[in-house]
Amino acid sequence: MNRAALTLSSSARSWLRIHDYRFGLPIAGLYFLAYVLVDALSYVQPVLRLDICPWNPETALTLAFLLAVGPRGLPLTALAAFTAEGLVHGMPAPWWALLVASVWIACGYTALALIMRRWGLPHPIESPAQAMRLAGAVMLTSFAVAVGYVTLVTLGGALPRSLAIGAIARYWVGDVIGILTLVPLLMYADRWRSGLRALRRGLPIAALQLGVVALTMWLIFGLNQSDQVRFFYLLFVPVIWITLRWGVPGAILSALAIQIGVIIAVQHDMHAPELVDLQFLLLTLSLTALLLGAVVTQRADALQRVATSEAEQRALLATAPDAVLTVSSRGWLCSANPEAQRLFGIDPLIGRERALQDLLPSFELLSAHGRAAIDGRRIDGSGFPAEIAWARLEAPATAEYLVIVRDVTERRRAEVQLRERERALSDAMRFAVAGELASALAHELNQPITALVSYLQACGILAAPLAAQDTRLALTLGKATHEAHRAAEVLRRLRDFYRNGAIKREPVQLSALCRAIVTAFHERLQCNAITLAVKLPAVLPSLQSDVTQLEIILHNLLANAIDAVCQQPVDRRRIELSVDSSTTAVMVRVRDAGPGIAAEVAHKLFEPFVTTKMDGMGLGLAISRSLLRAQGGDLLYEPDASDAGACFIVHLPLDPKAQARKVARIMSCGEAT
């Protein structure tokens, strides 16, 4: 028999329902013994020695066993019932009738157990509907079992037909009350710890309630009077009291206690009335208590849920980073969370009524919900940019609208800063491009102008013999030479304008700069699934440089690296940005695992208009090197032997001023020569 899997509902809570318990001989024996024993104990006021009693707790035992082990328990329950007939009741009917009856009982309660499991029972009863359903199923099944049993023993000749109807009623009420007082108790079996804790807290009242029940029982049975049944209704008062205080468990326990009390009273008190009458009363009492208990439990659960939800919402509002306001239909503030009080400067202690109009002057709640970017105004009159969202609240809420306000001052400022930074960068980039273009253009044009000047001067010499005939020739050649020199001068000035553009020297936080650039590329890196490793040393010597130019240079190098690795398979899309330093310089390396640079391009890599890209101008590297050299640094290319990628090194001297002075000195020497 496998320990398996008749898992019936995902809302499984009770140990009874988790799975079909494997049951071996010990469990089977235990059930068997308990059944026979309980049957013997509750063999009270039977009809003609038949097992037709007004209280059958052993039926509850059978049902609990079947709920735990499933339909496999059927033969054993039939055997137990049959054995009890023999041992306890002494075979009051023909054996075949009792055997069939036992099987009938087992089948009936197996069916009930299956139905209960289908409903997800047994687990603690949470609503009156569940309680009704349980009670209804138990009553119907017990009725079928009772009718079958009584019919069989009547057919067996053990019971006169005249007594059959009464026997059915007696049998039925016995089973129903047996099941309803014991089975719900099993549903709470795995909660006994929390139950005990609760009981400990309310021990005095529980004792008092028990006392009242005992007193009432004594009133009913102890006064030795006739017609006690009338007093039985007194029990409703303590039972309802207990149920209101303790919910379903209280109802079950009080019903069980009264049941046991009634049995004891009936057993020992000769004045006790017919038990079956009492049992019908007790059944009414138990059912009333069970339903009331279910209502109480449901209400307690609902209150608990509301309290939890309210506490969560309070915490949510208190910690929300946005201002949350509720507004009445006439535009008055109903509530403001702590952030709203802080943002608008509302003092919660000054209980002045405020209109939403005061806080959001240009805003009117017209639509059911929406979002907008408008200006907010604090109580002190100062304004701030805000983003708001609003929604009309559903009927039970007292406020008409919920308005959420977010202060976006910081974000706006950051956006403006970012835009300014981008503009500065693109300005600098344009300037650098123009400079490089001017430089390249000047170089290319200077060559023919040089030839031109020399040719013109040669012409001047050649024309010297003719000067006597016409002085205009020499004059014109002189003018032409002058103009060519002027053209060269224009080019020189153009290049000087860009070349000698003031280089700012400011302290550079290289690590921060690298991080900022990496952040700027974040999206492109992610889109192309590129891994960028940034290796920054903990300590870097302080560096004086032009931040914008450095940014342009690193921007260029990273953009190149990204273009290079984008054509690679995903596992080779790697770029490494590392910084290290010596005593004289700081080196920034941008290494990529791209295809590398062909040898025929490598030697002229830094010349303007040399590019390997389809849409490239070929100025990026040229500009970067020019900018670095103007600062006294340099840009170098290092083919990566191991990884067949490319590595560019930005070389930044630690004392660029000294470097610049050296250049200036050499220049002045050169010109003096």
Partner 1 sequence: MRRSDVNDPTVFVVDDDAAIRDALSLLISLKGLRSAVFATAEDFLNTYCADWRGCLLTDLQMPGMQGLELQRTLAERAIALPVVILTAHGDVATTREALKNGALDFLEKPVDDDVLVDVLRNAIHVDEKRHRAADEHMQALERFARLTPREQAVLQLLADGLQHRDIAERLKISPRTVEVYKSRMMEKLQLRTLADVVRFGSGAPHSTN
- The piece of 75-83, 94-102, 385-393, 449-457 that touches partner 1 (CB under 8 A) is 449-457
CA 443 to chain centre: 64
- What's the closest the beta carbon of residue 622 comes to partner 1, in angstroms? 14
Judged by beta carbon, residue 307 or residue 663, the one nearer partner 1 is 663
Residues between 525 and 554 that touch partner 1 (CB under 8 A): none
Residue 588 burial (10 A CB sphere; 0-12, 13-18, 19+): buried
User: By C-alpha distance, which of 623, 511, 494, 640 is closest to 565?
Assistant: 640
The pair of structure tokens assigned to 520 is: 């700027």
- The residue within the footprint of partner 1, chosen from 83, 288, 335, 446 (CB under 8 A), is 446
Closer by beta carbon to partner 1, 451 or else 529: 451
For partner 1, the closer CB: 225 or 450: 450
Query: What number of other Cβ atoms are within 10 A of residue 7's Cβ?
Result: 12
CB 506 within 8 A of CB 512: no
Rounded distance between C-alpha atoms, residue 497 and residue 137, angstroms: 100
392 binds partner 1 (CB under 8 A): no
Under the binding rule (CB under 8 A), the answer on residue 453 touching partner 1 is yes
Identity of the residue, 463 or 516, whose beta carbon is nearer to partner 1 in the bound complex = 463
**448, 478, 537, 639: which one binds partner 1 (CB under 8 A):** 448
Binding residues among 648-667 for partner 1 as defined by CB under 8 A: 663, 666-667
5 binds partner 1 (CB under 8 A): no
**Shortest distance, position 466 Cβ to partner 1, whole Å:** 14
Site for partner 1 in 458-517 (CB under 8 A): 458, 460-462, 484-485, 488, 491-492, 495-496, 499
How near is the Cβ of 502 to partner 1 at its closest, in Å? Answer: 17
**What string of DSSP letters covers 54-101?**
S--HHHHHHHHHHHHHGGGGHHHHHHHHHHHHHHTS---S-HHHHHHH
Question: Exposed/middle/buried for 311, CB within 10 Å: 0-12, 13-18, 19+?
Answer: exposed
For 600-649, give the secondary structure using H, E and C. HHHCCCCCCCCCCCCCCCCCHHHHHHHHHHHCCCEEEEEECCCCCCEEEE
Among 452, 516, 517, 520, binds partner 1 (CB under 8 A): 452
Our CB check for partner 1 shows the closer of 119 and 455 to be: 455
Min dist CB 650 to partner 1, Å, is: 18
Identify the residue among 447, 469, 519, 642 touching partner 1 (CB under 8 A): 447
How many CA within 13 A on the CB side of residue 449? 18
Q: How far is the CB of 610 from partner 1 (least distance, A)?
A: 13
Contact call for residues 39 and 50 (beta carbons, < 8 A): no
> Which amino acid appears at position 280 of this protein?
F
d(CA 147, CA 175): 12
Closest Cα partner for 276 from 102, 146, 110? 146
Helix ranges (H only) for 156-235 are 164-187, 192-201, 203-217
Q: Judged by CB, which is closer to partner 1: 485, or 515?
A: 485
Size, binding site for partner 1 by CB under 8 A: 33
Residue 584 near partner 1 by CB under 8 A: no
What letter does residue 222 receive in the DSSP assignment?
I
Q: Among residues 499 and 524, whose Cβ is nearest to partner 1?
A: 499
Q: Is 629 in the site for partner 1 (CB under 8 A)?
A: yes
Q: Residue 433 CB, nearest distance to partner 1 (Å)?
A: 18
Shortest approach of partner 1 to residue 446 CB, angstroms?
A: 6
> What are the angstrom distances between the C-alpha of 36 and each of 58, 89, 158, 670?
8, 10, 21, 124
625 counts as binding partner 1 under rule CB under 8 A: no
Regarding 627 and contact with partner 1 (CB under 8 A), the answer is: no
> Closest CB to partner 1 among 305 and 492?
492
Q: Tokens for 547?
A: 């931040």
- With CB under 8 A as the contact rule, the residue among 69, 105, 442, 554 that binds partner 1 is 442
Contacts of 124 by beta carbon, 8 Å cutoff, 6+ apart: 13, 14, 187, 188, 191, 248, 297
Nearer to partner 1, 56 or 439 (CB): 439
Chain position carrying tokens 């009670």: 135
Q: Considering the complex, what minimum distance in angstroms separates the CB of residue 442 from partner 1?
A: 8
For position 439 contacting partner 1 by CB under 8 A, the verdict is yes
Q: Which is nearer to partner 1, 354 or 485 (CB)?
A: 485
Q: Closest separation between CB of residue 555 and partner 1, Å?
A: 25
Give 421 or 499: the residue with its C-beta nearer to partner 1: 499
Structure tokens of 510?
């290289």
Query: Does residue 568 interact with partner 1 by CB under 8 A?
Result: no
Nearest partner of 138 among 104, 170, 113, judged by Cα = 113
Position 451 contacts partner 1 (CB under 8 A): yes
Considering only 101, 449, 564, 586, the residue that binds partner 1 (CB under 8 A) is 449
Query: Looking at beta carbons only, is 367 or 668 nearer to partner 1?
Result: 668
Q: In the complex with partner 1, which residue's Cβ is closer, 60 or 453?
A: 453
Residue 116 or 453: which CB sits closer to partner 1? 453
Per DSSP, the three-state class of 254 is helix
Scanning 123-131, 248-256, 412-420, 453-461 for contacts with partner 1 by CB under 8 A, the matching segment is 453-461
User: Residue 599 CB, nearest distance to partner 1 (Å)?
Assistant: 15
Query: Measured from the CB of residue 635, what is the shortest distance to partner 1 in angstroms?
Result: 14
Cβ atoms 85, 76 nearer than 8 A: no
Judged by DSSP in three states, 340 sits in helix
Angle (CA) 652-658-662 rounded to 5° is 110
622 exposure class (CB count in 10 Å sphere: 0-12, 13-18, 19+): buried
Q: Which lies closer to partner 1 via its Cβ, residue 236 or residue 455?
A: 455
- Cβ burial of 446 (10 Å; 0-12, 13-18, 19+) is middle
* Positions in the binding site for partner 1 (CB under 8 A): 439, 442-443, 446-455, 457-458, 460-462, 484-485, 488, 491-492, 495-496, 499, 629, 663, 666-667, 669-670, 673
